[in-house]
Amino acid sequence: MAEKSFDVVVLGGGPGGYTAAIRAAQLGMKTGIIERDRLGGVCLNWGCIPTKALLKNAEVLQTFRRGEEWGISYDNLKVDFGKIIKRSRVVSEKIVKGVEYLMRKNKIEHIPGYGVLLGNGAIEIRAEGKPDEKVTAKHIVVATGARPRTIPGVPIDRKRVISSTEAMSLTDQPKSMIVIGAGAIGIEFAYFYNAVGTKVTVVEMMPSILPVEDAELTKMMEASLKKQGIEILTQAKVESVNPGSNDVTVTVTAADGKKELKGDVALMAIGVQGNVENFGLEKLGVTVERGHVRVDSDYRTNIPGVYAIGDVIGPPWLAHVASAEGVHCIEAIAGKKPAAIDYSSIPGCTYCQPQIASVGLTEEKAKAEGYELKIGRFPFRPLGKAVAIGEAEGMVKLIFDAKYGELLGAHIMGAEATEMIHELVMAKKLETTGKEIFHTIHAHPTLSEAVMEAAAAAYGEAINI
Amino acid sequence: MARIEVVMPQMGESIAEGTIVKWHKKVGDRVKKDETLLEISTDKVDSEIPSPAAGVLAEIVVPEQKTVAVRTVIAYLEAEGGAVAAEASRPTVPSAMETPKPIAMAPAPISAAPAITPLAAPASGRFYSPLVLNIAREEGIAMNELELIPGTGEGGRASKKDILAYVAAKKSGAIAAPSSPSVSKATSAGILAKPVDVPELRGKYPAPDFEILQMSNVLQKMAEHMVKSVATSPHVAAIHEVDMTNVVKHRGAHAIEFEKKEGFKLTFTPYIVEAVSRAIKKYPLVNTSIEGDKIIKKNFINIGIAVASENGLIVPVIKNAEEKNFLGLARAVNDLATRTRAKKLTPDDIQGGTFTISNYGVFGTMIGTPIINQPQVAIIGTGAIKKRVVVIDDAIAIRSMAYFTMSFDHRIVDGALGGMFLEEVVQYLQNFDINLKF
């Protein structure tokens, strides 16, 4: 049996894994990456990227429907659901090809198959139609990601009860859909399906949609989505999910009692769980806690030579966090002593329209942590640019510590929020205070002027309101 | 309400009088503590004089353009309440009630933070985030103190986390004054770099052409301290030539007798320590450290001697050199040298230095530029003693010569003081009494 040896082998080709592999190769390590499916992981194949393609369709549709506002009218606006899905697959394919190219460019060996850790740096590669192969590595980075979680006792049958994977590759557009869970994934699909004409009901156990976001903004968001036609039930507990032959019945208990919801499909979007089973972690004795691998701040597990990054180590389950962890993990292996990742400065984005993007603490959390706050708000409505482009719905909310002036949290709802958030992520990372933000000249006319004005508002110095 | 005298300050030891250039406040004006009250001019410097307290300028005794002797009362302040001193150092929000004429001024309760005393620019060029600077201001941490806080952020930056940890440690009393290079663990750690296998570096530096060695703790510590010192103190080096002939002769004449009597060899070190100790008595400003905008003057002289040991650089300290005569210094030097070699130094032996001597001359070095041992402000390096042809009174002579370098912190020691101090050391050695008995 031919046995290849590597400096680093990454298990899993998602955004965490492939980024780690590239960094390792850049640092001169002989690197391999094991992936049984396409490179790119959930993010590129079944997550971030294809959904953004779908959401753009929804956005374009929304804009067409508002054509009259701009003096553009047409008859016979049609939606081809099949083409929309196909476009999203093409987009995904393109980006995945890009990752394959990056592997070749960096001379990283893509080992197709299912990797099983054998201990002492050995990994068995199982691939269909091929004899098992063995490779060894000085350092093994586990980046196996996570998969959709479901409610106990409710199996995802992929027909009536579906996960996000099915939701982005349905052949027929459902007439109605019940979305269970109002996190980013649930809300994005609710927005998309509602826009293309499906009747959507969202069920959320928590008091508000997007429960990790600032309550003031999610309240505005909820109103906006309801206005678009989405039915939203919060503080509603799912009691049972009964798939039938033509539809599915979801029974919920809400504040106003028990309800039976019927839909063509139910989308399970309550979160994800780490992929920690059946590839040797147990055998090696790697510590797994609550479904996630436990690591230290350099992403080392308790077993020397075995590291873990990304969704498999737990929340926040975000591609950009996985990538950052991958880079850090490799640099630590190379002895570069990278600065620890600051988990308080990670942007979170939800890509419906209007969008929500945030970094740092919400008002509720900041208060709970005992900060005395100075809060600045600035709505989109007075902004020339927002009115000109017809996107006046939105707000920037900045939360500062009253004592030292630190930017504790930034929350944006509105068009382009997911692009606008980054100056605030940078500001937070560089430890600026509100003053530097509003003394930074922002171009006019832009939506980003709202960021400057919100910071000024915290100091009582906003101009255009 | 207390009436406070404002006097013409003494702007330097040799300055006897000053001229008032401009009063920045009129009688009746409110003035904050440390706000500029007036400008004065002396024959050496022009300077802005801050108000000694918060209050109202009650009376101007000496008008502009008039010259008076130092310590003359030039004005009176009417201080507010009893809590003058306590309140004045902290920037406060001026309340509306304090404003005598409440003219159309938009009430800006949050933004009206008064001008905050800016921190000095970092000498190291190290980046401090606005937040870190805010915290430093709020917690009264001066720039030079900030410069010493170890950073865990990007590129070694001191982040919010680092400064808050420092503030917490300081409040709990866990942090004392920055200490001299810590080598207490030296004996166990060892200086010898051990070969290590770092596969990722191996690719770049293949064997056998390259070896990869681990820096020991002592080496890492030394690296850290040296970088920190250079970053903290603007180093200036003054190099003087010293005629060691008398010292060499004295030592030669007494070496055998000394060893017989004392049981150890007479070295050059006690001569130099004595010379330095005497010079410090004359120029005590080199025996200080800096804390913010304050000078900490030490009324004792603890002289560290940099020693290269197998465990790395160690700086054992001769305590209270000012109290010891030549023999006492010689014994102290020998005691430390013996215990350094025997690895018997205690942590106390390497702490509390106020000035350092580095004798790199033993390695044949003629001229060096030593790095200051923080938080001290000066260090003397002694070069090798060699016989050279020199000119004395227009005659050619053969003398035992050496170059001494003094590196000093120009934040506090200027070229004049540095030069005078070193020359004092030189003169003492040069004119050493050959007939001195122990």
Q: How many helices (H) and strands (E) does chain B have?
A: 11, 20
Name the A residues in 153-212 with CB < 8 Å from any B CB: none
* Rounded CA separation A362/A410 (Å): 8
Separate counts of helices (H) and strands (E) for chain A: 14, 24
Which of B108, B109, B131 faces A405 most closely, judged by CB atoms?
B131
Please check whether residue A298 touches B, CB under 8 A: no
The size of the A-B interface in CB pairs under 8 A is 59
The answer to whether A20 and A10 are in contact (CB under 8 A) is yes
Average pLDDT over residues B129-137: 91
Mean pLDDT over residues B76-99, rounded? 46
Q: How many CB atoms lie within 10 A of CB A331?
A: 20
Output the six-digit token pair for B283: 């120029």
End-of-domain residue from the set B48, B64, B79: B79
Q: Is the dihedral of CA A423, A214, A189, A275 positive or negative?
A: positive
A238 compared with B8, residue with greater pLDDT = A238
Beta bridge partners of B356: B304, B379
What residues of chain A lie within 8 A of the CB of B212, using their CB? Answer: none
Q: Rounding to the nearest 10 degrees, give the CA dihedral for residues A73, A78, A84, A85.
A: 160
Helix (H/G/I), strand (E/B), else coil: A335: coil
Q: Do A374 and B108 touch (CB under 8 A)?
A: no
Query: What is the separation of C-alpha B78 from the centre of its chain, rounded to a whole number of angstroms?
Result: 38
Q: Does A335 touch chain B (CB under 8 A)?
A: yes
Taking an 8 Å cut-off on Cβ atoms, the answer to whether A461 and B135 are in contact is no
The answer to whether residue B197 neighbours chain A at the CB level (below 8 Å) is no
Tell me the DSSP string of A253-278: EETTEEEEEEESEEEE-S-EEE--SS
Q: Is the separation of the CB atoms in B381 and B408 below 8 Å?
A: no
Report strand pairing: B36-41 vs B17-23. Answer: antiparallel
* Domain boundary residue, one of B19, B54, B79: B79
Cβ contacts (< 8 Å) between A403 and chain B: which residues?
A: 138
Asked if the structure places residue B324 within a domain, the reply is yes
Residue of chain A with shortest Cα separation from B112? A459
In order of A361, A427, A453, the CA distances from B130 in angstroms are 19, 10, 19
Please report the beta strands in A331-422, taking only residues with DSSP state E, as ranges in sequence order.
348-350, 355-360, 373-379, 394-401, 407-414
> Do residues B237 and B369 make contact, with C-beta atoms less than 8 angstroms apart?
yes
| Crossing angle (nearest 10°) for helices B269-282 and B245-262 | 120
Task: Kindly tell me the burial class for residue B109, based on how many C-beta atoms sit within 10 Å of its own C-beta (0-12, 13-18, 19 or more).
Answer: exposed
Distance separating alpha carbons of residues B409 and B238, to the nearest angstrom = 11
Residue B146 within a domain = no
The answer, for B132 touching chain A at a CB cutoff of 8 Å, is yes
Buried-exposed string B317-332: b where 16+ CB fall within 10 A, e elsewhere: bbbebeebeeeebbbb
Tokens of B349: 């032996």
Number of domains into which chain B is organized = 2
Query: With 80 as the cut, is the pLDDT of residue B10 above it?
Result: no
Q: Which of A160, A124, A108 lies closest to A2, judged by CA?
A: A124
| Minimal C-alpha gap between B90 and chain A (Å) | 14
Q: Counting beta carbons within 10 angstroms of the beta carbon of residue A327, is it exposed (0 to 12), middle (13 to 18) or buried (19 or more)?
A: buried
- Check CB contact under 8 Å for B132 and A431: yes
Q: How far is CA B3 from CA B78, B217, B279, in A?
A: 5, 58, 43
Q: Which amino acid appears at position A408 of this protein?
A: L
Pairing between β-strand B235-243 and β-strand B395-409 as defined by DSSP bridges: antiparallel
> Which chain A residues touch B93 with a CB distance below 8 Å?
none
Q: Are B116 and B137 in contact (CB under 8 A)?
A: yes
Sheet holding A394-401, edge to edge: A348-350, A355-360, A407-414, A394-401, A373-379
- φ and ψ at residue A125, rounded to 5 degrees: -105, 115
CATH of the domain at B272: 3.30.559.10
CA distance A293 to A272: 14
> What distance in Å separates the CA atoms of residue B94 and residue A80, rounded to the nearest whole number?
66
- The set of residues, in sequence order, having a beta carbon less than 8 Å from that of A454 and lying 6+ positions away, is A376, A377, A378, A396, A397, A398, A462
Mean pLDDT of B64-85: 73
ipTM of the complex: 0.71
What's the pLDDT at B118? 56
Catalytic residues of A: 444
Identify the residue among B90, B116, B134, B202 best suited for mutation to test binding to A, counting A beta carbons within 10 A and taking the highest: B134
- Give the per-residue pLDDT at B177: 36
Residues 360-379 of B with CB under 8 A from A: none
Q: Is A431 on the interface with B (CB under 8 A)?
A: yes
CA dist list (Å): A91 to A57, A86, A100, A326: 12, 9, 15, 25
The answer as to whether B376 is a domain residue is yes
Residue B135 with chain A: CB contacts under 8 Å: 404
Task: Note the pLDDT tens digit of each residue in B241-278.
Answer: 999 999 999 998 888 888 888 888 899 999 999 999 99
Looking at residues B223-241, what average pLDDT do you find?
A: 92
- Please report, as a single letter, which amino acid is at residue B165: A
- List the single best residue of B200, B201, B214 to mutate versus A (max A Cβ within 10 A): B200
pLDDT band at residue B307 using 50, 70 and 90 as cut-offs: confident
**Distance (Å) from the C-alpha of residue B205 to the closest C-alpha of chain A?**
11
Is there a contact between B129 and A430 if contact means CB atoms under 8 Å apart?
A: yes
Residue B208 lies in a domain: no
Q: Is A341 helix (H, G, I), strand (E, B) or coil?
A: coil
Q: Over range B282-307, report the average pLDDT.
A: 92
CA distance B381 to B358: 5
Chain B residues with CB-CB distance to A339 below 8 A? 152-155
Q: What's the whole-number mean pLDDT along residues B161-179? A: 73
Q: How confident is the model at residue B194 (pLDDT cuts 50, 70, 90)?
A: low
- CA dist B61 and B73 (Å) reads 7
Q: Is residue B190 part of a domain?
A: no
| pLDDT of the residue at B13 | 45
Give pLDDT, residue A24.
Answer: 97
Tokens of A297: 């701040």
Which residues on chain B are in Cβ contact (under 8 Å) with A431?
Answer: 129-132, 159-160
Task: Answer whether residue B435 shows pLDDT above 90.
Answer: no
Query: Quick one: what percent of chain B has pLDDT higher than 90?
Result: 33
Q: What is the distance in angstroms between the Cα of A223 and the nearest Cα belonging to chain B?
A: 33
Chain A touched by B203 (CB under 8 Å)? yes
CB contact under 8 A, A406 and B138: no
- Per-residue pLDDT of B318-366, as tens digits, reads 999 999 999 999 999 999 988 887 777 777 788 889 999 999 988 889 9
Contacts of B358 (CB under 8 A, 6+ apart): B305, B306, B368, B370, B379, B380, B381, B382
B159 in A contact zone (CB under 8 Å)? yes
Residue of chain B nearest A139, judged by CA positions: B199
Residue A405 to residue B130, Cβ atoms within 8 A: yes
Q: Contact A431/B160, CB-based, under 8 Å? A: yes
Q: What is the pLDDT of residue B117?
A: 52
Q: Does A333 contact chain B (CB < 8 Å)? A: yes
Whether the CB of B113 is below 8 Å from some CB of chain A: the reply is: no
Nearest chain B residue to A374 by CA distance is B110
DSSP-assigned beta bridge partners for residue B5: B76
Distances (CA, A) of A432 to A45, A185, A404, B159, B267: 37, 32, 10, 11, 57
- For residue A138, give every residue at least 6 positions away whose Cβ sits within 8 Å of its Cβ, in sequence order, or none: A6, A7, A8, A121, A305, B199
**Which residues of A are less than 8 Å from B111 in CB distance?**
459-461
* In contact, A262 and A248? CB cutoff 8 Å: yes
Q: B118 — contact with chain A (CB < 8 Å)?
A: no
Question: Who's near A246: CB < 8 A, 6+ residues apart?
Answer: A264
Q: Is residue B129 domain-resident?
A: no
- Give the range among A44-53, A448-457, B203-212, B301-310 with minimum mean pLDDT: B203-212
- pLDDT band of residue B214 (cuts 50, 70, 90) is confident
Task: Determine whether the interchain pair B111/A7 forms a contact, defined as Cβ–Cβ distance below 8 Å.
Answer: no
- Per-residue pLDDT reduced to its tens digit, B100-111: 433 443 333 333
Query: Residue B15 maps to which CATH number?
Result: 2.40.50.100
Is residue B61 in some structural domain? yes
Which of A29, A374, A430 lies closest to B199 in CB terms? A29
Across the interface, which of B109, B130, B198 has its CB nearest the CB of A436? B130
| pLDDT at residue A437, as a whole number | 95
Domain residues for the domain of B285 are 219-430
Nearest to B437 by CA among B275, B327, B273: B327
Residues of B with a catalytic annotation lie at 410, 414
- Option in B111, B138, B199 nearest A404 (CB): B138
Dist. CA A464–CA A14, nearest whole Å: 45
As a whole number, the mean pLDDT across chain B is: 80
Which residues sit opposite B305 in a β-bridge? Answer: B357
Domains assigned to chain A: 4-147+273-343 (3.50.50.60), 161-270 (3.50.50.60), 354-458 (3.30.390.30)
Q: Is A318 on the interface with B (CB under 8 A)?
A: no
B134 touches chain A (CB under 8 A): yes
- Which comes out higher in pLDDT, residue B399 or B83? B399
pLDDT at B73: 87
Find the CB nearest A138 among B153, B155, B199. B199
Where in A234-354 does DSSP place strands (E)? 237-243, 248-254, 257-263, 265-268, 272-274, 288-289, 292-293, 306-308, 348-350
**Is residue B91 less than 8 Å (CB to CB) from chain A?**
no
Number of other CB atoms surrounding residue B352 within 10 Å? 16
Bridge partners (DSSP) listed for residue A288: A293
**pLDDT at position B190 over 60:** no
B133/B142 Cα distance (integer angstroms) = 10
Nearest to A230 by CA among A258, A201, A188, A269: A201
Q: From chain B, pick out residues whose CB is under 8 angstroms from the CB of A405.
A: 130-131, 134
Contact B129 A432 (CB under 8 A): yes
Name every residue whose Cβ is closer than 8 Å to that of residue A83 and which is 6 or more positions away in sequence. none
Q: Which two tokens stand for residue A395?
A: 């707000």
DSSP three-state, residue A27:
coil
Q: Name the 3-class secondary structure at A411.
A: strand
Contact B200 A340 (CB under 8 A): no
Per-residue model confidence (pLDDT) at position A204: 97
Low-confidence ranges of chain A (pLDDT < 70): 1-2
Mutate to test the interface with B, among A328, A344, A431 (most CBs of B within 10 A): A431
User: How high is the pLDDT of residue A54?
Assistant: 96
Q: What is the Cα–Cα distance from A47 to A318, expressed in whole angstroms?
A: 11
Q: Which of B79, B99, B134 is the last residue of a domain?
A: B79
- Per-residue pLDDT at B140: 85
Q: Does residue A375 belong to the interface with chain B, where contact is any CB pair within 8 Å? A: no
Residue B328: HSE in the Cβ half-sphere, 13 Å Cα cutoff: 10
Whether B370 is covered by a domain: the verdict is yes
Cα distance from N-terminal residue to C-terminal residue, chain A: 73
* pLDDT at res. A420: 98
* Range 22-61 of B in CB contact (< 8 A) with A: none
